[in-house]
């Protein structure tokens, strides 16, 4: 006997019944990333600086950002801006006015690196050390100066030979920052002409 033709609703019901729960879960796993929003972009887009906060000091802005995303993440952002691995126009990162404040509106290309180095005066992660060492060679003297200040603040011993060469830098402020950093990093010399030991 020939079966009567089934309606479309009956066919769809049988097809649904033939799909196992495992298959359904697999189907969801495949399709979800295509329609779900990117978690990181969603987080970063919510990190906006209130107009009132733009006039605050650099330290206050950095600490406010750190309170939102954490010190390690803030330090990594600053380090990436400094060494060029992160662009200050990256929409998946915090707006640059977190670092530059009201000056960020008319920034020049060198300023994000300077501001990023300055940010590392207030937040820190050991992974940022390599960016500071590279920044001591930066073509912009303000970046070299700021990196020397960070090397002093963070006691980066590996910076000593670079700082020694910066004592001959053509910019007086860089030389002064390098000298100050070296004075803080180098151990105090033990006097050799002191009084003889007793006994």
Residue-wise pLDDT for 1-21, tens only, equals 555 555 544 544 444 444 334
pTM tops 0.75, yes or no: no
- Hunting for tokens 């006994």 — which residue is that? 199
Average pLDDT over residues 67-87: 95
User: What is the domain extent for residue 69?
Assistant: 53-185
As for how many domains the chain has, the answer is 1
CA 87 to the chain's CA centroid: 10
Residues in the chain: 199
114: in domain: yes
CATH of the domain at 152: 1.25.10.10
42: in domain: no
- Hunting for tokens 């100050």 — which residue is that? 180
90: in domain: yes
94: nearest Cα among 160, 26, 43, 34: 43
Residue 22 above 90 pLDDT? Answer: no
Please state, in angstroms and rounded to a whole number, the distance separating the CA atoms of residues 82 and 76.
10
Contact predicate 122/149, CB 8 Å: no
């Amino acid at each position: 006997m020939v079966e009567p033709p089934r309606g479309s609703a009956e066919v769809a019901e049988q097809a649904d019944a033939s799909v196992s729960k495992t298959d359904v879960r697999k189907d969801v796993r495949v399709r979800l990333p295509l329609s779900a929003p990117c978690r990181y972009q969603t987080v970063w887009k919510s990190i906006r600086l209130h107009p009132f906060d733009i006039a605050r000091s650099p330290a206050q802005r950095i600490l406010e950002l750190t309170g939102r995303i954490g010190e390690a993440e803030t330090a990594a952002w600053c380090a990436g801006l400094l060494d060029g691995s992160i662009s200050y126009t990256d929409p998946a990162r915090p707006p640059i006015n977190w670092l530059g404040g009201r000056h960020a509106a008319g920034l020049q290309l060198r300023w994000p690196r300077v501001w990023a180095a300055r940010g590392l005066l207030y937040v820190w992660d050991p992974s940022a050390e390599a960016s500071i060492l590279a920044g001591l060679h930066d073509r912009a003297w303000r970046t070299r100066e700021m990196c020397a200040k960070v090397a002093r603040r963070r006691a980066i011993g590996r910076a000593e030979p670079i700082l020694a060469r910066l004592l001959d830098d053509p910019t007086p402020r860089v030389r002064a920052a390098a000298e100050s950093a070296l004075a803080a990093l180098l151990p105090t010399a033990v006097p050799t002409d002191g009084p003889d030991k007793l006994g």
